[in-house]
């Protein structure tokens, strides 16, 4: 955010519910399509006609979905170690496992898992270390930042309601189909950590092989969260990428 602002850009961070501090819907609607509509809604509320969207990890799916839902509103996509779940060519959609869906429907069990691993402040450091290549980057300052939104009332229950969309979504989304990327009419830049074990580099390479206007930029020795593992390199790449896209994409 600071690097983009210093380069003269207006950078807006979105807290997509149920995370962060955004208000959560009374009825849980957390599909990628629902989240995409929220992204476009933010552009509407800010009177932004078109924007470059940057999405990280499982935020990548809603980011791509927003470009597919409202292509006239998105100038370009920057995807950072995106968890997109792109299906194999000619693969039939796989329904979610009934047993898993059944277990996730049991609220006490689901909330117990979330409270133990995701919203438990005593587990934040270990969770963060699982996503990065070098555990040294899970500093006290970073851990504190990740812990802060967890103090919002109702976080455990809300994240529990979202969990089925991560682990066993009932319906597929446009952003999971290879054909959606082949017909993507805007530039796509993928920034990837070389040592990512959550969404391995091979996924980034396949992503850019599908989209006609796509390029891949790899950050050496970084894992799934390069913006905290190699912040200097990441910020430079991000600013260079946005500057290039802003110059050539009208």
CATH classification at residue 214: 3.40.50.1820
- What is the CB neighbour count within 10 angstroms for residue 26? 6
| pLDDT higher than 90, residue 77 | yes
70 assigned to some structural domain: yes
Q: What percent of the chain has pLDDT over 70?
A: 98
12 assigned to some structural domain: yes
For the segment 160-182, the average pLDDT, to the nearest whole number, is 89
Residue 169: per-residue pLDDT = 83
Indicate the range of 20-29, 61-70, 188-197 predicted with least confidence.
20-29
Residue 98: per-residue pLDDT = 79
201 assigned to some structural domain: yes
Q: What percent of the chain has pLDDT over 90?
A: 86
Residue 63 and residue 15: Cα distance in Å, rounded?
Answer: 13
Query: 74 - beta bridge partners?
Result: 51
159 assigned to some structural domain: no
For the segment 117-126, the average pLDDT, to the nearest whole number, is 95
Instruction: Spell out the residues 6+ positions from residue 21 whose beta carbon is closer than 8 angstroms to its own.
Output: 15, 149, 152
What tokens does 232 get? 């200097």
For the segment 11-18, the average pLDDT, to the nearest whole number, is 94
With beta carbons less than 8 A apart as the criterion, state whether 133 and 221 touch. Answer: yes
Residue 97: per-residue pLDDT = 72
Sign of the CA dihedral with 144 first, then 145, 151, and 154 last: negative
Sign of the CA dihedral with 161 first, then 100, 110, and 141 last: negative
Task: Please give the model's pTM, rounded to 2 decimal places.
Answer: 0.94
Measuring CA to CA, how many Å separate 55 from each of 36, 38, 141, 177, 227? Answer: 11, 14, 23, 18, 12
Residue 138: per-residue pLDDT = 97
Residue carrying structure tokens 């935020």: 59
Indicate the range of 27-36, 107-116, 136-145, 164-173 predicted with least confidence.
164-173
Residue 46: per-residue pLDDT = 97
Mean model confidence pLDDT for the chain = 94
With beta carbons less than 8 A apart as the criterion, state whether 242 and 9 touch. Answer: yes
For the segment 121-126, the average pLDDT, to the nearest whole number, is 96
152 assigned to some structural domain: no
How many domains is the chain partitioned into structurally?
A: 1
Residue 61: per-residue pLDDT = 96
Indicate the range of 53-57, 76-80, 171-175 predicted with least confidence.
171-175
With beta carbons less than 8 A apart as the criterion, state whether 169 and 58 touch. Answer: no
For the segment 1-18, the average pLDDT, to the nearest whole number, is 95
With beta carbons less than 8 A apart as the criterion, state whether 103 and 110 touch. Answer: yes
Write out the residue range of the structural domain in which residue 64 sits. 2-95+171-248
91-120, pLDDT tens digit by residue? 765 666 778 888 888 999 999 999 999 999
185 assigned to some structural domain: yes
Burial class (CB in 10 A: 0-12, 13-18, 19+), 53: buried
Burial class (CB in 10 A: 0-12, 13-18, 19+), 223: buried
């Amino acid at each position: 955010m600071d690097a983009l602002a210093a380069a003269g850009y207006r950078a807006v961070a979105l807290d997509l519910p149920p995370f962060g501090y955004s208000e959560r819907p009374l009825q849980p609607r957390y599909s990628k399509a629902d989240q995409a509509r929220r992204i476009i809604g933010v552009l509407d509320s800010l009177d932004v006609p078109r924007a470059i969207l940057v999405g990280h990890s499982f935020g990548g799916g809603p980011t791509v979905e927003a470009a597919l839902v409202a292509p006239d509103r998105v100038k370009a996509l920057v995807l950072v170690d995106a968890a997109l779940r792109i299906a194999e060519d000619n693969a039939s959609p796989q329904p979610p496992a009934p047993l898993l869906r059944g277990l996730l429907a049991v609220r006490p069990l689901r909330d117990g898992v979330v409270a133990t691993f995701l919203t438990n402040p005593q587990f934040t450091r270990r969770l963060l270390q699982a996503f990065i290549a070098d555990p040294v980057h899970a500093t006290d300052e970073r851990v504190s930042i990740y812990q802060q939104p967890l103090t919002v009332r109702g976080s455990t229950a809300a994240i529990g309601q979202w969990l089925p969309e991560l682990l066993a979504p009932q319906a597929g989304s446009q952003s999971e189909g290879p054909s959606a990327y082949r017909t993507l009419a805007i530039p796509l830049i993928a920034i990837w950590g070389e040592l990512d074990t959550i969404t391995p580099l091979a996924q980034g390479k396949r992503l850019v092989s599908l989209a006609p206007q796509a390029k891949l930029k790899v950050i050496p020795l970084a894992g799934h969260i390069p913006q905290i593992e190699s912040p200097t390199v990441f910020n430079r790449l991000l600013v260079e990428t946005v500057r290039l896209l802003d110059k050539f994409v009208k």
